[in-house]
């Protein structure tokens, strides 16, 4: 091994847990860092692995509709139907405040 000091510009391995604790410390102070590190410790003790889920993709026969302007209707079963109406078009109004005449 060499006795050269570590350079600051060299890339360091990224540790996600340390980054999460540091982010909690910056945002919430020392208490946030303690809570974040304790949660990570509990996660390690329980041995849970994060679920890796694949994104859901469906084939469609055309372009998606504009549900903001057209609304949407979904048939849940023969007796149940969910309807979401389009957003009400609100026209913006110009509000003019008048000062009382001092004359």
pLDDT digits (tens, 9 = 90+) for 51-83: 788 888 888 788 877 888 888 888 999 999 999
With H, G, I as helix, E, B as strand and everything else as coil, classify residue 47.
coil
Of 11, 38, 42, 14, nearest to 24 by C-alpha is 38
What pTM value is reported for the model? Answer: 0.37
Residue 83 phi, psi (nearest 5):
-125, 130
Q: What is the spatial distance between Cα 36 and Cα 24, in angstroms, rounded to a whole number?
A: 7
Q: How confident is the model at residue 35 (pLDDT cuts 50, 70, 90)?
A: very high
Q: How confident is the model at residue 14 (pLDDT cuts 50, 70, 90)?
A: low
Taking residues 12-31, what's their average pLDDT? Answer: 85
- Buried b / exposed e over 59-78, threshold 16 CB at 10 Å, is eeeeeeeeeeeeeeeeeeee
Q: How confident is the model at residue 92 (pLDDT cuts 50, 70, 90)?
A: low
């Amino acid at each position: 091994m060499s006795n050269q000091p570590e350079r600051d510009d060299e890339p360091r391995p990224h540790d996600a847990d340390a980054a999460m604790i540091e982010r909690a410390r910056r945002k919430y102070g020392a208490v946030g860092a303690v809570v974040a590190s304790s949660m990570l410790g509990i996660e390690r003790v329980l041995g849970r692995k994060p679920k890796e889920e694949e994104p859901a993709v469906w084939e469609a026969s055309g372009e998606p509709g504009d549900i903001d302007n057209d609304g949407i209707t979904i048939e849940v079963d023969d007796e149940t139907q969910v309807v979401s109406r389009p957003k009400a078009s609100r026209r913006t109004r110009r509000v003019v405040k008048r000062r009382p005449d001092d004359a």
